[in-house]
Homo-oligomer: A and B are copies of this chain.
Amino acid sequence: MDYHRGIRKGFPEVIFCPGKTKEEILTIMQKLATEYPNILATRANEEIYELVKSSLPDARYHPEARAIFLEREPREKKGKIALVSAGTSDLPIAEEAALTAEIAGSKVERIFDVGIAGLHRLLPYLPKLWEANVIIAVAGMEGALPGLLAGLVNRPIIAVPTSTGYGANLRGITPLLTMLNSCSPGVAVVNIDNGFGAGFLAHMINQLAEGVR
């Protein structure tokens, strides 16, 4: 068995843009595009997209997720991932997670603008959360949302701390620590601002729940 082929079966190839010039990104995308139908480039800006589009005209740009993607063989969106986030500033990370999971073939239900400070807005969504296979919870500031959800819903929760906040937020270290110390079990954490990682892992779990391994 060729393990390497296997581990990315069906998942799009991914490029993490920061630290690369736009020319390097284009070169990598062109090369991948000869082999793979679906490609995702995260943390990209419009300027990079302009260059990429000139060479790969079917590439698209998702401005909120700050991602360029090529989706020549769209996959059927299956199962259900609930994506919960609190504030406007967390949207780019949340959308990066959503786009990642969707391109990979998962259905994503966005539940935005709910947070620990507005419990009355969150509670009505509980039935929807129980319908999902897995939950992604994105939160900055104090980062208490995933732990709160873990006490309300019996599903795996992928927690994404964001660098939204100031002062003692320490660029996301505070919500990261909060999430790691959750009183309720059922929460696991990815790196600060790592929407892609959360989307990838949630898709894996969603697939398993839909009977695909």
Q: Which residues of B contact A18 (CB under 8 A)?
A: 89, 166
Q: Which residues of B contact A165 (CB under 8 A)?
A: 181
Give residues of chain A (1-32) contacting chain B, Cβ–Cβ below 8 Å: 1, 3-4, 6-9, 14, 18-20, 24
Report yes or no: A168 in contact with B152, Cβ–Cβ below 8 A: no
Q: Which residues of B contact A150 (CB under 8 A)?
A: 117
- The residue of chain B having its C-beta at the shortest distance from the C-beta of A193 within the complex is B167
Chain A: interface size category: 35 or more
Report yes or no: B163 in contact with A167, Cβ–Cβ below 8 A: yes
Give residues of chain A (171-213) contacting chain B, Cβ–Cβ below 8 Å: 171-194, 196-198, 200-201, 204-205, 208-209, 211, 213
A151-163: contact bitstring with B at CB < 8 Å (1 yes, 0 no)? Answer: 1111110110101
- The residue of chain B having its C-beta at the shortest distance from the C-beta of A131 within the complex is B213
- The residue of chain B having its C-beta at the shortest distance from the C-beta of A204 within the complex is B156
Report yes or no: A178 in contact with B178, Cβ–Cβ below 8 A: yes
A133 at interface, CB cutoff 8 A: yes
A111 at interface, CB cutoff 8 A: no
- The residue of chain B having its C-beta at the shortest distance from the C-beta of A159 within the complex is B188
Shortest distance from the beta carbon of A149 to any chain B beta carbon, whole Å: 10
- Which residue numbers of A lie inside 8 Å of B, CB to CB? 1, 3-4, 6-9, 14, 18-20, 24, 86-89, 115-120, 126-127, 130, 133-134, 141-144, 147-148, 150-156, 158-159, 161, 163-194, 196-198, 200-201, 204-205, 208-209, 211, 213
